[in-house]
Structure 1
Amino acid sequence: MARYLTEADAAEAGITITHEPAAQRFAIYREGNGGAELVGEAHYSFPRDGVVDFDHTVVDDSLRGTGLSGLLAHRAVTSDIAQAHTVQASCWFIEGYLAKHPELLNQST
């Protein structure tokens, strides 16, 4: 099983992480014979002014152990959205990621 340490590593394998503001998520896509397939996401909402809540994160079971969940969490919590808001993490994965990497945020609750 491949292990991805950076987004560049993942991109070489046809996997990209993108921000989709209209869907309020950061999405992982994998290129395949049928085109790009959604294989993961970190969803967020705005429960009140000035707060972004990362409320749901999922990565396809076939990609567990590859490091993609960590790359997705990193992209989400270091994004412009996260930097412009106080971050709340009601998703256990993002909460755990922030506990391991508190230096990534200016503000968190």
Structure 2
Amino acid sequence: MARYLTEADAAEAGITIVHEPEAQRFAVYQQTETGSQVVGEAHYSFPRESVVDFDHTLVDGSLRGTGLSGLLARRALTSDIAAANRVQASCWFIEGYIAKHPELLSQAE
């Protein structure tokens, strides 16, 4: 099974992470023979003014253990959305990622 340490590694394998603000998510797309398909997401909401809550993270089971969840979390937590708001994590994965990488955020609740 492949292991992706950077978004560049994932991109070489046809996997990209895209911010989709209209859907309030960061989506992981995998290029396949029939096109591109969503294989993961980190969803967020705004429970109150100036607060972003990362409330759901999921990566397709076939890609677990590849590092994509970590890349997805890092992308979300270093995004303009996170920088412009106070970050809250009601998703257990994002909460754990912040605990392991507190340097990514100084505003996490």
Q: Structure 1 length as normaliser, TM-score? A: 0.99
Question: For residue 17 of structure 2, what is the aligned residue in structure 1?
Answer: 17
Whole-Å Cα distance in 1 between the matches of residues 106 and 82 of structure 2?
Answer: 9
Whole-Å Cα distance in 2 between the matches of residues 101 and 28 of structure 1?
Answer: 21
Moved over 4 A (4+): none
Check the 8 A contact 1:83/1:106 in 2, yes or no. Answer: no
Question: For residue 101 of structure 1, what is the aligned residue in structure 2?
Answer: 101
Question: For residue 6 of structure 2, what is the aligned residue in structure 1?
Answer: 6
Whole-Å Cα distance in 2 between the matches of residues 36 and 77 of structure 1?
Answer: 24
Q: Which amino acid aligns with 2:91?
A: C
Whole-Å Cα distance in 2 between the matches of residues 41 and 59 of structure 1?
Answer: 7
Gaps of 5+ in 2: none
SS for the counterpart of 1:52 is: strand
> How many residues in Structure 1 have an aligned counterpart in Structure 2?
109
Q: Structure 2 length as normaliser, TM-score? A: 0.99
- Aligned alpha-carbon RMSD (Å): 0.4
